[in-house]
Amino acid sequence: MRFAFGTLTALPVRVTRWDREAARAGMLCAPLAGLTVGLCAASLGAALLLLGGGALLAAVGTVAVPAVLTRGLHLDGLADTADGLGSGKPAEDALRIMKRSDIGPFGVVTLLFALLAQVAALAELYGAGWAHGAVAAATAGMAARCALTLGAREGVPAARPEGLGAAVAGAVPFGPALGAAAVTVVVCAVGGASFGAYGAVHHALAVLAALGAAELLLRHCRRRFGGVTGDVFGALAETAATAALIAMALG
């Protein structure tokens, strides 16, 4: 639990162990860390809406909370991964580009559209009522970190020998990773059930869509980079969150 909250959030949790066993357990707990971040985001968004701030302001506040609670690392990972993929260079050169402190044009454009998509989807959901937006924020947060659990499953290699990616790559056995995904789908379906049977199905499908989008990105990164890095994990989380919100806004 310390590993999950200490590495995936900016909450004041000290990581006391950094071995493979801790990484395995920590990545299995990643959806719980995501649910916590999502509930914090939902609280601010719902409060802004109930105070008369409007759906758009509530959406912006909701998107801002995960960025703050992760110190922007997942967003930075998305931008760096986009730069690496968009460079068209061999894996070694692309990984070198991703390690730079600056953000290139591919990263800026990807970051811009991802944030716009998240805000637009949440504004649509908050427009239907504060509960719709709040449950969607919690669902997206949990789905985003579940994508990290699946990304850390056995058989997925690290692209570099150092960093967070190397610490967690391949650490989670396949069966428990699927179990965590199943639990995530069920929990999010229960949250969606507050809007009826259709809401339960809708939210479950949104999580599956999010995990599917993250899986497609993961496979592409494995082909291009030879494995995963900390930046790729950040990109997986933001991709899953964006896909989940869009899926919930549709229909």
pLDDT (0 to 100) of residue 1 = 87
Task: List for the chain the helix, strand, coil content (%; round to 5).
Answer: 80, 0, 20
- Are 122 and 38 in contact by the 8 Å Cβ rule? The answer is no
Tokens representing 47? 């409060």
Residue 104's φ and ψ, nearest 5 degrees, are -85, 180
Domain count, the chain: 1
| Domain encompassing residue 127 | 2-249
Tokens 């050169």: give the residue. 93
Taking the chain (251 residues) in runs of 10, the rounded mean pLDDT of each run is 89 85 93 97 96 96 96 94 90 89 90 98 96 97 97 92 82 95 97 95 98 97 93 96 97 77
As a whole number, the mean pLDDT across the chain is 94
The percentage of the chain sitting over the pLDDT mark of 90, rounded to a whole number, equals 78
pLDDT (0 to 100) of residue 91 = 86
pTM for the whole thing?
A: 0.95
Alpha-carbon span 153 to 168, nearest angstrom: 9
b/e per residue 15-24 (b: at least 16 CB within 10 A): eeeeeeebbb
pLDDT (0 to 100) of residue 228 = 94
* Residue 162 φ/ψ region, left for φ over 0, alpha for ψ in the -120 to 50 degree band, beta for the rest: beta
